[in-house]
Amino acid sequence: MRLAQELIKVAKSILFSIGLVVLCQGQAWPENRPDFSGRFSFLANYAFDNNDNVLAGGRYIPEIAQKFDLADNHFLDYEASVNISVLAFFDTLDHSTTQADIAPYRIWGRYSGEQYELRIGLQKINFGSASILRPLMWFDKMDARDPLQLTNGVYGALGRYFFLNNANVWAWILYGNDEKRGWDVMPGCKSRPEYGGRLQYPVLDGELALSFHHKTINAGKLMNSEAFNKVPETRLALDGKWDVKVGFWFETTWVHRSEDLGIYTNKSMYNVGTDYTFGMGNGLNIAGEHLVTAFDKHGLGFSRTSHITAATLSYPLGLDDNVSTVLSYNWELKHASVFLNYEHRFDKFIGYIMAYYTPEQPQSVEKEDLINDLSGPGFRIMIVYDY
C-alpha cells in the first residue's frame, strides 16, 4: 500500500516536470534542453552490537533541471528528482530483511529576477548560523556526519528578496507536511498550513537575523488524548554570525504551544559556536558548538534541560584526500559519540571509509531516515558516483 502511494507521488512529480517543460518549450526556446544528472551511492555497514549487524544498500537520485532566460534579466527554472533506495539488513547469513522505497525528493519551479525569487513545490529550506547542533533546523534533518547531506524537502512556496546592502527578507507558506523535522518532538498536521518569514541584516562585518514560524502540531500521542491533535505552535529565533580572526556565531529559538502541554508547552534552545583554520600543513579546521535545550510550562523556564557539546575537525591530506571527525558529548547522560571519515576522490567516483561509536539511545537530533541510524560501535564503507 505504501509503495503504491509513493508511486502515485512520483507519477505526479513527473507530470509536474513534464508540464513545466511543455510550458517553457512552447515559448519558442527549442535550443534549450533539460539537464539530466544523478547520483548513485552504495554502502555497506557493520554494527557490532546491533541485532541486524550487517547493512548493505544502494540509493539512486536521478534529476532533471532546466533554466530559461526571459526578458529583462528574468529567469524561469525548475528541478525534479526522485529518491530510490533499497536496504538489506542481515543478522545471520541465512536471515535478512529488505526494505525498498521510492519517493519524490525535489520538485519545484522558480521565477526569479535580479533581486528576488519565488520558488514553489517540494524543496529544501534551511538557514541559520550554526553548523552542527542547529536550533534553526526547522525544515530539514541534515546530519553533520552525513557526507552527502541528504534530507527530505517540504511542500510549499518560498519568496526571497535581496537588498543591495546584502540584507534579505524571506517569506514562506507550507502545506501538506506532517513529518517530524529536525529537533521536533511532535509531528505537524498535514491539513493545516504553515507560514513564516525571516529578516537577515548585515551588522558589523557579519549578519544578524530574526525568524518566525507558525504551524499546527499533533500532540495527541504525547498527551494520550485526541483533544490535543491540533495545537497551534509559534516559533521565534535570533541568530548571528561574524568573522573576527576566528568565526563566531549563535542561534537561539523559542517554541510556544498555545495549549497546556505541561513542560512541553515551551521549549527554548541556545547555541554558541566558533571555528578557526590553523596554518599547519594543509590547514586544519576546527569548529565547536555548545547547545542548551530547555523545556518548561512557563515562558523561557528551565524545568528540564540538556547540554550537548560537539566539535568537528577536518584536514585535507592532498587534492584528493581528506580526513574529518565529528565528536559530541551529552553532559546529562554522560554519553560520548565519535565519528571518523576518510574520503578519497577517484577519477569518476568518491569513496568513504567511516568508523563510529554512538550510544544506543543518544539524546540528539532525530536521525534522518535517508541515512540510517549509526548506533553502537561500527564501520561503514560508501561509494558515490555522480554524473
Q: What is the DSSP string of 151-183?
A: ---EEEEEEEEE-TTS-EEEEEEE-S--S--TT
pLDDT of residue 92: 65
pLDDT at 372: 53
Give residue 25's pLDDT.
45
Cα-based distances in Å from 122 to 104, 129, 158, 177: 8, 23, 10, 10
Q: Which domain holds residue 329?
A: 115-386
Average pLDDT over residues 171-196: 94
What mean pLDDT is predicted for residues 147-162?
Answer: 96
What span, in angstroms and rounded, lies between the C-alpha atoms of 213 and 198?
9
C-alpha 81 chain-centroid distance = 16
Residues 137 and 204 in one domain: yes
Is residue 297 situated within a structural domain? yes
What's the start-to-end Cα distance of the chain, in Å?
A: 33
Q: Do 94 and 205 belong together in one domain?
A: no
C-alpha–C-alpha distance, residues 106 and 90, integer Å = 31
CB 84 within 8 A of CB 119: no
pLDDT digit string (tens) for 133-154?
A: 999 999 999 999 999 999 999 9
Specify the CATH number for the domain of residue 312. 2.40.160
**Same domain? 154 vs 272:** yes
The helix (H) or strand (E) run that includes residue 11 is helix 2-25
For position 21, what pLDDT does the model report? Answer: 44
Q: What is residue 53's predicted lDDT score, i.e. its pLDDT?
A: 83
Statement to judge: residues 375 and 249 lie in one domain:
yes
358: confidence class by pLDDT, cuts 50, 70, 90:
confident
Q: What is the DSSP string of 332-383?
A: TTTEEEEEEEEEEE-SS-EEEEEEEEE-SS-SSSPPPTTT----EEEEEEEE
Same domain, 351 and 270: yes
Please check whether residues 217 and 291 belong to one and the same domain.
yes
Kindly report, residue by residue over 248-260, the tens digit of the pLDDT: 999 999 999 999 9
What residue type is 269 in one-letter code?
M
**In whole angstroms, what separates CA 17 from the centre of its chain?**
23
Average pLDDT of span 378-382: 95
The answer to whether residues 367 and 339 touch, using CB atoms and an 8 Å cutoff, is: no
**Alpha helix ranges (H) inside 212-297:** 220-223
Whether the predicted pLDDT of 5 surpasses 60: no
Q: Are residues 201 and 341 in the same domain?
A: yes
Average pLDDT over residues 284-304: 93
Residue 130: its H or E element: none
Average pLDDT, integer, range 38-50: 91
pLDDT at 330: 93
Q: Are residues 311 and 336 in the same domain?
A: yes
The predicted model gives 97-116 an average pLDDT of 95
Q: How confident is the model at residue 29 (pLDDT cuts 50, 70, 90)?
A: very low
Distance (Å, whole) CA 283 – CA 227: 56
- 5 or 224, greater pLDDT: 224
pLDDT, one tens digit per residue, over 307-318 is 999 999 999 999
CA 239 to chain centroid: 18
Please determine, for residue 81, whether its predicted confidence score (pLDDT) is greater than 80. Answer: yes
**135 in the same domain as 98:** no
The DSSP H or E segment spanning 317 is none
Question: pLDDT above 70 covers what percent of the chain?
Answer: 87
